[in-house]
Amino acid sequence: MSKSELVVTPVSQCAAAPLMREPLSARSAAELAAAFKALADPARLRVLSAIASRAGGEACVCDVSEGIDLSQPTISHHLKVLREAGLLTSERRASWVYYRVVPDALQRLSAVLAVESGPEVTA
């Protein structure tokens, strides 16, 4: 059989499953990725946990470093990354800066993980 006589069988197209919800937009995916990237560092997870563990989800910068063996400039860097990712807010009160967890941001991360994992996941 020559090349001109080859019979090419068309590849059958797969049947697409119906959408159950709208997939993430490019913008939402980029925003979520930035937040997840900020949380991908163990030190930042500890810093966020140190703040979230305080009454009202708020802590003075002087209290954040308790039990975390990092220099103050390093902790300040991690706080900045978390703040820029929208996971923390800050407020200056006199000579101290207080950091507060943004509950809506954490809820959004939690919700996207729950939705993306499917309906069979139980906590």
Cα(85)–Cα(95) distance, integer angstroms = 24
Structure-block tokens of residue 62:
């002087």
Domains belonging to the chain, first-starting first, are: 26-117 (1.10.10.10)
The reported pLDDT for the residue numbered 14 is 76
The reported pLDDT for the residue numbered 59 is 93
The reported pLDDT for the residue numbered 121 is 47
pTM: 0.74
Kindly give the residue spans of alpha helices, DSSP state H, lying in 1-123. 26-39, 42-52, 61-64, 72-84, 103-117
Q: Place 111 in a pLDDT band, splitting at 50, 70 and 90.
A: confident
Structure-block tokens of residue 107:
């809820």
Q: Place 48 in a pLDDT band, splitting at 50, 70 and 90.
A: very high
The pair phi, psi for residue 66, each rounded to 5°, is -60, 125
Supply the angle between the helices 26-39 and 42-52 in degrees, to the nearest 10: 90
Please report, rounded to a whole number, the percentage of residues in the chain having pLDDT higher than 90.
51
